[in-house]
C-alpha cells in the first residue's frame, strides 16, 4: 500500500491524497488551494501524479478545498468514477460550477488589467464550465453512511458521518493485499460536537493508519452556548448603534447554522421579531434548498422538524437576493439590517461590496463566524488592520469587528484528541489540513501511534 500527499500538507487547503492498494489508484479529495496568491498559484502546478492513471476519487465533503481541482483532474485525463454521499454530490455540483464561473470572471478581469500593466501574467482560467460539467459527468455511486462500498477486488470503502457539513464523511478504506488485511481512515474534516443541525462525528472502531485533519490542532473553541450569546449581543449592540450587521458567510453549512440561530433567536425573543435579514448569495440560497432535501443527514429530532414543516431555517424577515440588482439595492440601507453574503473569507463575492459600503461606518458591525486563512481579507480585518484595500479603494476600518469562534464546523483540539482516542489499533497517524504550528502541537497530544507530518508530494510505503 502506498500513500502520497498532494495538497493540505502543512497547510489548510488543497486536500488531495493518493492511495495505491491492490493495483488500484484511489484519490481521496481533489481540493483547491486557497488563501495567499502563492498558494493559489499552486493550483495550476503539476498535480504530482498522472491524472489519467487514477481509477477512483472518493470525496469526503463538498467544500472547495476538497473538490475544487476535480475539473482540472478531468481536464488532465481522469476518466474514473467519483464516489461520495448524495448530499455531497449535490453540494459539490454547486461548488465546482461556481468555481468555474469565478475563474472565468477572474481570467477576464486579469486580461482586462493586463492590457494596462502586467504583460507577463497568465490569465487562462484553471478550468472552464465545460470541464466542470465533465467532472460532474464522472459522479458515480452514492455512498450511504455505514454501508460498505466495493471498490475493486480486495478494496472496499465505508463512509462515516463526519458531522462537519451536510453529507460530510470520514472514509475508511480496507484492502486485502495477498491475504494481509490493511485499513486506512481518512478523517476528512471533523465536525464540532453539539452543533444544532448535524450529528456528532462518527468513527469506525479501529484503523491501522489514519490521515487526520488538524485545522484547530492548537486551540480550543469557546463553549457553544457562550458563542450564541456573543452572536446575539453583536447583532443587538450593532442595531442599537443604528448600523448594519455584516456576516461574511460560507455558503455551505455556516449560512444554514446562522439561519437556524436567527430562527431560534427570534423565536426566543432574543432578537427583534421584525429583523430584516438579507441572504445575499445565490450559492448560499441554492445550498439552503439542498439542505432541505437531505433528512438522512440530520439528527432524528432535527429531521422531524424539517418533516413537520416547522422549518428550522425559516426567518420571518428574510429576503433571499439572487439577482445582482437586488444585491445593489441593499447598498441603500444604511442601518438596521443583517446582511449575510459570501465569500466567508472575503476573498471575493458580494460581501466585498457590502464591506466597502459599511466598514468605514463606526455604527456598523462585522461578525466573523468562521475560519479566516492567512493572506485573506477576512484575516487582515480580524487581525486589526486600520485600512484595507477593497475593489481598488483604501477603506478605513471603523466598524466594530466581532469574531465568534465557537461556531466552527471543525473540531477543536480537545475534540480532535477525543476523536483519535476513539479509534483502536492505530499504528501511524499522518497529520494534514492545518497550518504547520497547529498540526505540530496536535501531534504532541495524540496517543501512542507514530506521527508523520507529510510534505507536499511526499510518498510513504505502508
> HSE (CB half, 13 Å, CA atoms) of 11?
27
- In whole angstroms, the minimum distance from the beta carbon of 224 to Zn ion comes to 19
Contact 198, 408 (CB under 8 A): no
Q: Is residue 63 a contact point for Zn ion (CB under 5 A)?
A: yes
DSSP state of 312: T
Q: Is residue 29 a contact point for Zn ion (CB under 5 A)?
A: no
- In whole angstroms, the minimum distance from the beta carbon of 189 to Zn ion comes to 4
Instruction: Give rounded-to-5 percent helix, strand, coil for the chain.
Output: 35, 25, 45
Using the contact rule CB under 5 A, the part of the chain among 182-190, 233-241, 395-403, 438-446 near Zn ion is: 182-190
Q: Is residue 189 a contact point for Zn ion (CB under 5 A)?
A: yes
* Site for Zn ion, residues 422 to 451, rule: CB under 5 A: none
Q: Name which of 168 and 244 has its Cβ closer to Zn ion.
A: 168
Q: Name which of 63 and 221 has its Cβ closer to Zn ion.
A: 63
Using the contact rule CB under 5 A, the part of the chain among 36-44, 69-77, 186-194, 378-386 near Zn ion is: 186-194
- In whole angstroms, the minimum distance from the beta carbon of 26 to Zn ion comes to 20
Q: Name which of 88 and 281 has its Cβ closer to Zn ion.
A: 88
Q: Name which of 348 and 424 has its Cβ closer to Zn ion.
A: 348
CA angle, 135 then 8 then 204, to 5° = 85
Q: What DSSP string runs through 11-65? A: SSS---EEEEETTEEEEE--PPP-SSHHHHHGGGS--SS-GGG--EEE-S---HH
- In whole angstroms, the minimum distance from the beta carbon of 252 to Zn ion comes to 8
Using the contact rule CB under 5 A, the part of the chain among 56-64, 277-285, 315-323, 454-462 near Zn ion is: 56-64
- In whole angstroms, the minimum distance from the beta carbon of 288 to Zn ion comes to 18
DSSP state of 182: E
Using the contact rule CB under 5 A, the part of the chain among 32-40, 63-71, 176-184, 424-432 near Zn ion is: 63-71
Residues in Cβ contact with 354 at an 8 Å cutoff, skipping those fewer than 6 apart: 244, 246, 280, 330, 331, 339, 341
Contact 167, 87 (CB under 8 A): yes
Using the contact rule CB under 5 A, the part of the chain among 61-69, 153-161, 338-346, 422-430 near Zn ion is: 61-69
The three three-digit cell numbers of residue 448, written as one number: 501512542
Each residue 86-125 as x (binds Zn ion by CB under 5 A) or -, in order, gives ----------------------------------------
What is the C-alpha to C-alpha distance for residues 141 and 155, in angstroms, rounded to an integer?
A: 15
Site residue total, Zn ion (CB under 5 A)? 2
Chain center to CA of 18: 20
> HSE (CB half, 13 Å, CA atoms) of 290?
24
- In whole angstroms, the minimum distance from the beta carbon of 370 to Zn ion comes to 10
CA angle, 150 then 151 then 157, to 5° = 70
Contact 66, 104 (CB under 8 A): no
Q: Name which of 191 and 365 has its Cβ closer to Zn ion.
A: 191
List residues near Zn ion by CB under 5 A. Answer: 63, 189
Amino acid at each position: 500500500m502506498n500513500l502520497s500527499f498532494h495538497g493540505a500538507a502543512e497547510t489548510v487547503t488543497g486536500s488531495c491524497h493518493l492511495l495505491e492498494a491492490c493495483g488500484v489508484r484511489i484519490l481521496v479529495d481533489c481540493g483547491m488551494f486557497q488563501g495567499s496568491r502563492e498558494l493559489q498559484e499552486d493550483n495550476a502546478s503539476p498535480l504530482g501524479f498522472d491524472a489519467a492513471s487514477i481509477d477512483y476519487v472518493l470525496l469526503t465533503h463538498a467544500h472547495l478545498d476538497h473538490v475544487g481541482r476535480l475539473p482540472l483532474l478531468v481536464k488532465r485525463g481522469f476518466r474514473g468514477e467519483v464516489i461520495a454521499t448524495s448530499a455531497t454530490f449535490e453540494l459539490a455540483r454547486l461548488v465546482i460550477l461556481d468555481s468555474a464561473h469565478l475563474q472565468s470572471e477572474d481570467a477576464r478581469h486579469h486580461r482586462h488589467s493586463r492590457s494596462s500593466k502586467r504583460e507577463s501574467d497568465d490569465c487562462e482560467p484553471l478550468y472552464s464550465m465545460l470541464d466542470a460539467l465533465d467532472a460532474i459527468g464522472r459522479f458515480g455511486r452514492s455512498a450511504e453512511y455505514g454501508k460498505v462500498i466495493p471498490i475493486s477486488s480486495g478494496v472496499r470503502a465505508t463512509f462515516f458521518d463526519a458531522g462537519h457539513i451536510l453529507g460530510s464523511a470520514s472514509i475508511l478504506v480496507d484492502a486485502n493485499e495477498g491475504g494481509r488485511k490493511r485499513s486506512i481512515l481518512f478523517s476528512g474534516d471533523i465536525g464540532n460536537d453539539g452543533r444544532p443541525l448535524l450529528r456528532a462525528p462518527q468513527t469506525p472502531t479501529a484503523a491501522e493508519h489514519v490521515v487526520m485533519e488538524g485545522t484547530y490542532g492548537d486551540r480550543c473553541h469557546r463553549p457553544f452556548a457562550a458563542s450564541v450569546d456573543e452572536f446575539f449581543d453583536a447583532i443587538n449592540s450593532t442595531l442599537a448603534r443604528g448600523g448594519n450587521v455584516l456576516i461574511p458567510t460560507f455558503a455551505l453549512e455556516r449560512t444554514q447554522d446562522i439561519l437556524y440561530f436567527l430562527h431560534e433567536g427570534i423565536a426566543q425573543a432574543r432578537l427583534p421579531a421584525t429583523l430584516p435579514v438579507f441572504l445575499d448569495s445565490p450559492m448560499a440560497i441554492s445550498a439552503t434548498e439542498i439542505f432541505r432535501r437531505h433528512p438522512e443527514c440530520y439528527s432524528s429530532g432535527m429531521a422531524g422538524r424539517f418533516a413537520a414543516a416547522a422549518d428550522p431555517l425559516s426567518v420571518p424577515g428574510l429576503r433571499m437576493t439572487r439577482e445582482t440588482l437586488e444585491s445593489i439595492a441593499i447598498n441603500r440601507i444604511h442601518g438596521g439590517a443583517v446582511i449575510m453574503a459570501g465569500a466567508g473569507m472575503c476573498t471575493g463575492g458580494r460581501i466585498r461590496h457590502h464591506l466597502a459600503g459599511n466598514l468605514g461606518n463606526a455604527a456598523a458591525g462585522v461578525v466573523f463566524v468562521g475560519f479566516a486563512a492567512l493572506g485573506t481579507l477576512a484575516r487582515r480585518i480580524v487581525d486589526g488592520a486600520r485600512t484595507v484595500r477593497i475593489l481598488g479603494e483604501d477603506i478605513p476600518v471603523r466598524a466594530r469587528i466581532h469574531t465568534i469562534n465557537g461556531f466552527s464546523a471543525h473540531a477543536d483540539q480537545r475534540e480532535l484528541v477525543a476523536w483519535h482516542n476513539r479509534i483502536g489499533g492505530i499504528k501511524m497517524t499522518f497529520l494534514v489540513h492545518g497550518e504547520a504550528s497547529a498540526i505540530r502541537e496536535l501531534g504532541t497530544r495524540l496517543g501512542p501511534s507514530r506521527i508523520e507530518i507529510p510534505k507536499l508530494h511526499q510518498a510513504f510505503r505502508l
